[in-house]
Amino acid sequence: MNWFVFILIAWVCFGLELALLPVFDAGSGGVHPSMVVPLLVFIAINAPRRPTLWCAITLGIVMDLLRPIPAVDGGTFTVIGPHALGYLLGVHFVLAVRGMLISRNPLTMVVMSILVMLIAQIVVVSMFTARGIGDSSLIWDAGIQLRQGLFSSLYTGISALLLSFVFFALGPFFGFASAVPTRFARHI
Amino acid sequence: MPITIGVLFILSFLPANLIRWTDWFSAQVQVAIVPITHPLTIVVDTIVPARISNPNASDRERALLNELERTKVELLQSREENTRLDRELAQFRLGAGHSAERIKQATRPRVGNLAGGILLIRTGNIEELTQGTVVVSDATQLVGRVSRVDRKTAQVLPITATGAQRITGTILLSEDSSRNPRCLLSPVGNGTLSGVVSRPAFEDSSQIQVGQEVRLLDTLWPTNAQMLLIGEVVEVKVDPEQPLRSIIVVRPTFNDPRRLPEVIFRIPDTDEPGGRP
């Protein structure tokens, strides 16, 4: 896998996610599509297992660093880990089922992006909620966050549909070395 | 890989005072991401322009309106201070001088947004910019407070962000501030704030109407922030659990803080007037 291309595309995806946040935000309610998760799903469907896991951790750490959580003292905290572990678990799910997926189908990207985002959000909410049991310095409402995460996951399906065409076109530049073994189709 | 997962798991549960060092990494990532987010933000703002207050006004008219608003805030702050001093006089606690805090304002551009509704502002080298500094737009419209300061940027948590704390405001019904109802406003999540109104007297509740101004009157905020505009009442409804109380919905004059092109920092001026040349 070409890491330079991955970093460049990831940089653009993070930029798109943050720049389009106020425009695509549904009623300023924190429900917005992710541009990073479709990239992660695209990598998970096509790349070998080990680089995929490192991609998930890298994107997750960057997402953690870009998501400061408001604190009760009026400041913010940056907690590294929840998104990285959430993305990692989501990617594990894709790796487990990718043998049964049609890799170059936009609908695959849509469904997998929704599911990966949902898994990641559940992990993030669970970790912050568990953290809040012993540390009340962060402002965190699990119910609101879970609701936002659920709707954001569905919303991510739309961004995944649009981005899938871009990623399919850019596929050769990623330099995925070998075809992923499929259960129902022969290797081309 | 197992070691990485273990480290991430431990980092996720470290106490807040042990993860302050992550701020530095966060600042570096933000700096790295700004070259892509800022041009994209400009493109987005060009294609989908943000609503600005009084779009037909010329620059001179806008400057005059801002000056008018500033004077109005100063007048209200003086009134509030007079009321407070009157109260103290009545309690025979003389000695507290008029503490009109001088402020200096610095206008800085927004370069991007972070998740959670936090604004990323390019500050340059503003001295005395600290966590908790009050941030406004259009001279007196309260935006929020600085939640973190780096060497070149500052993060601002708007009052309408879901993670923002509740604020106390007052609805301006009469010149006698002691008769004005107070309200404890919480961010709803859709760009508005909502809260129950506490009435000084029964007859005052009927006077609360859509379009009235709500201003900040909260002891947890700095003196220079008192009487800044929170927004206008856009809805008045009866609290279903307490029928004698009203719930108001307040919307700031900006539609979405994340679309503001620039913000103004209100920094307390600690320099003595005749101290240094």
Among left, alpha and beta (phi > 0; psi -120 to 50; other), residue B171 is beta
Query: Could you give the CA distance from residue B163 to residue A15 in angstroms, rounded to a whole number?
Result: 23
* Domain housing A108: 3-172
Report the percentage of chain A scoring pLDDT > 90.
Answer: 29
Report the CATH number at residue B204: 2.40.10.350
Whether residue A84 is contained in a domain is answered as yes
Q: How many domains does chain A have?
A: 1
Average pLDDT, stretch A120-130?
A: 90
pLDDT at B53: 57
Whether residue B69 is contained in a domain is answered as no
| pLDDT exceeds cutoff 90 at A86 | yes
Query: Could you give the CA distance from residue A136 to residue A146 in angstroms, rounded to a whole number?
Result: 18
Whether residue A188 is contained in a domain is answered as no
pLDDT digits (tens, 9 = 90+) for B238-263: 877 777 778 888 888 887 788 888 88
- DSSP labels, A103-137: TT-HHHHHHHHHHHHHHHHHHHHHHHHHHHHH-TT
If you search the block for the tokens 């300061």, which residue do you land on? B149
pLDDT at A114: 93
pLDDT at B174: 66
Residues 6+ apart with CB under 8 A from B4: A57
Residues of B in contact with A131 (CB under 8 A): 12-13
Question: Sorting pLDDT into bands at 50, 70 and 90, what band is A69?
Answer: confident
pLDDT at A178: 57
Report the CATH number at residue A102: 1.10.1760
Whether residue A81 is contained in a domain is answered as yes
Contact between A68 and B147 using a beta-carbon 8 Å cutoff: yes
Query: Could you give the CA distance from residue B170 to residue A165 in angstroms, rounded to a whole number?
Result: 53
- Using 50 as the pLDDT threshold, list the residues of chain B that sit under it: 93-99, 274-277
Residues 6+ apart with CB under 8 A from B51: B254, B255, B259
ipTM value for the complex: 0.81
Whether residue A144 is contained in a domain is answered as yes
Q: Which of B36, B116, B157 sits opposite A67 (nearest CB)?
A: B116
B198 interfaces chain A, CB cutoff of 8 Å: no
Q: Which of A23, A66, A144 sits opposite B162 (nearest CB)?
A: A144
Which chain B residue is nearest to residue A59, measuring alpha carbons?
B29
Q: How many domains does chain B have?
A: 1
Whether residue A179 is contained in a domain is answered as no
Pull the structure tokens for residue A23: 């425009």
* Domain housing B224: 167-254
Residues of A in contact with B189 (CB under 8 A): 27-30, 144
Which chain B residue is nearest to residue A140, measuring alpha carbons?
B163
Tell me how many residue pairs between chain A and chain B have CB atoms under 8 A apart: 154
Chain B interface, best mutation among A11, A77, A148, A152, by max B CB count within 10 A = A77
Whether residue A13 is contained in a domain is answered as yes
B3 interfaces chain A, CB cutoff of 8 Å: no
pLDDT at B77: 77
Contact between A70 and B112 using a beta-carbon 8 Å cutoff: no
Whether residue A186 is contained in a domain is answered as no
| pLDDT exceeds cutoff 50 at A91 | yes
Contact between B26 and A84 using a beta-carbon 8 Å cutoff: no
pLDDT at B177: 63
CB atoms within 10 A of CB A188: 5
Q: What is the CA radius of gyration of chain B?
A: 21
Whether residue B70 is contained in a domain is answered as no
pLDDT at B200: 60
Whether residue A180 is contained in a domain is answered as no
Average pLDDT, stretch A175-181?
A: 63
pLDDT at B95: 40
Q: Which of A70, A85, A130 sits opposite B147 (nearest CB)?
A: A70
Whether residue B130 is contained in a domain is answered as no
pLDDT digits (tens, 9 = 90+) for B200-215: 655 555 578 888 888 8
